[in-house]
Structure 1
C-alpha cells in the first residue's frame, strides 16, 4: 500500500486548521501529521515530522509564513519539504518574496476544496503550482520590482538557446503544452528541456526557474 502524502498545516486560526485537517484527512492518499499555529512552530514541526508538504499561511505570529518558508527550504534537514503558500488578493506583495524563499506553489484562500487537494498532490510530486489568478499578477510583481540582477553569463552558463527560449516562456506563465505549441515542439521534448533547466540551474522546481529568468534579466518588464 502506498504511503499517504504527509501534510503539515500552518495557520494561526484554529478553526481554519481544523477545517483543513478534516478536508485533507478525508481525501484518499493524504494525511495531516501536525498542525502549527505560528511560523516558529511550523519550522519546528517541519524539522520533527519531515512532512511532504507544508500548507503555509502568510500572516502568523512569532514568524510570518515567508520567513518560516525560508527557514524550512533553506535548511539541509528539510530541503525536500515542499511549501504551498495560501495567499489572498490583498497579499500579492508576498508572492514574490515567497518564491524567493523557496515556496513551490501558491493558492488563493478561496480556492475550491478539490483544487486545494489537487494542489497538494502536485506539489508533493515535485511540480510547482501557481494559481492562474496569481500567475499574471506575480509576473507583474516581478516586472515592477528593482531587484539586483545577477550576470546572465554566470547564471545561465551552459544553457542552450532553445533552453533559454523555454525558460523565458515558463517565466511568462506558459504551461508545457502551451510552450510545445508556441515553439512547435513535442510535449516530451519540452519536458526534457524543462528537466535539463532544473538540473543546470539547480532549481528546486518550475517556480524557481521563474525567479532565475527574472533575476538574470532574461525576462524583463514589459513597457507600461
Structure 2
C-alpha cells in the first residue's frame, strides 16, 4: 500500500477546517498533517516540515489575514513541491486567475460536495489539474481582460521558441479548452501522441500541469480572450 497523501488545511475559519478534516481523515489514502489559520502560517508549515512529513497538497483559502492565499500559494509553489488547491466561492472568482498564475494546480468551490473534494485532492496529488480545460477557458475569457498580468510577454515569447511547431499547435488547442480527444481529432493524431506532446510541453516550458498550459497560452498570446 502507498502512504496516504499528506494534507494541509489553510483557512482562517476554524469550523471550515474542522469540517474538511472530518471528511478527509475518514479516507484511508489521505491524512491531514497540519492546519493554518493564515497564509503565512501555511507557508511556514510547508517549508519548515522535514521532507518525509511535509504536506503534499495544500487546501488554500484566498482571503486570510497576515498573508492572503494568492501570496501564500506563490511562495509554496516557488519553494516547495507541494501542490495547492485553491478554495473559492462564486464571488471570489476574479482571484482565481491570479492564484493559477501564482502556481496553484486548480481551484474548487467551497460548497463542493465530499465526493468532488476527494476527487480533486486525488487528482492534484497525482500530478493532474482539478479544473476542466473548458472551465478554465471560460474563466480566463471572463476575467483576463480586467486583470493585471505579472508575466512578462517577452519572456513567454522567448520560452515558446523551445517548442516545435506541432507542440505549439497542441499548446494553442489546450489553451482553447480542447481535451486530448478533441486535439487528436483536430490535428489527425493519436491520443497517445497528443499526451506525449503535452508531456514535452510541460517539460520544456517548466509548467506544472494542464491548467498552467492554459495560463501560459494566454500570456504568450497564442489564445486571446473573447470580447
SS of residue in 1 equivalent to 2:162:
coil
The count of corresponding residues between Structure 1 and Structure 2 is 220
Check the 8 A contact 2:171/2:201 in 1, yes or no: yes
Q: CA deviation at 1:178?
A: 2.8
Q: Which residue of 2 aligns with 1:160?
A: 164
Are the counterparts in 1 of residues 11 and 61 from structure 2 also a CA contact under 8 Å? yes
Residue 99 of structure 1 deviates from its aligned partner by 1.0
Give the whole-Å Cα distance in 1 for the aligned partners of 2:67 and 2:173.
Answer: 34
Quote the Cα distance in structure 1 between the aligned partners of 2:157 and 2:64: 39
For residue 95 of structure 1, what is the aligned residue in structure 2? 96
Are 1:31 and 2:31 an aligned pair? yes
Q: Distance in 1 between matches of 2:177 and 2:63?
A: 26
Unaligned runs of 5+ in 2: none
- 1: distance between equivalents of 2:147 and 2:74? 20
Distance 2:157 2:95 in 1: 29
Kindly indicate whether the alpha-carbon contact (under 8 Å) linking 1:53 and 1:82 is maintained by their aligned counterparts in 2: yes
Asked if structure 1 preserves the Cα contact closer than 8 Å seen for 2:140 and 2:225, the reply is no
1:142, CA displacement in angstroms? 2.5
Report the 3-state secondary structure (helix = DSSP H, G, I; strand = E; otherwise coil) of the residue aligned with 2:121. helix
Q: Which moved more, 1:202-211 or 1:191-200?
A: 202-211
> Do the aligned residues in 2 keep the contact of 1:144 with 1:221 (CA within 8 Å)?
no
| 2:86 counterpart of 1:85 | yes
**What TM-score, normalized by structure 2, do the two folds share?**
0.90
Q: Once superposed, what is the RMSD of the aligned Cα atoms?
A: 1.8
- Contact 2:127–2:209 (8 Å) recurs in 1: yes
SS in 2 for 1:55: strand
Q: Which residue of 2 aligns with 1:140?
A: 142
Report SS of the residue matched to 1:130. coil
Aligned residue in 1 for 2:16:
16
Superposition pairs for residues 1-224 of structure 1, below 5 Å? 1-49=1-49, 50-75=54-79, 78=80, 80-130=81-131, 133=135, 135-145=137-147, 147=149, 149-150=153-154, 153-222=157-226, 224=227
TM-score, structure 1 normalization: 0.91
Deviations 1:165-200 (A, max 9, x none): 111121122222332233332211111010000111
**Cα contact 2:137–2:214 (8 A) shared by 1:** no
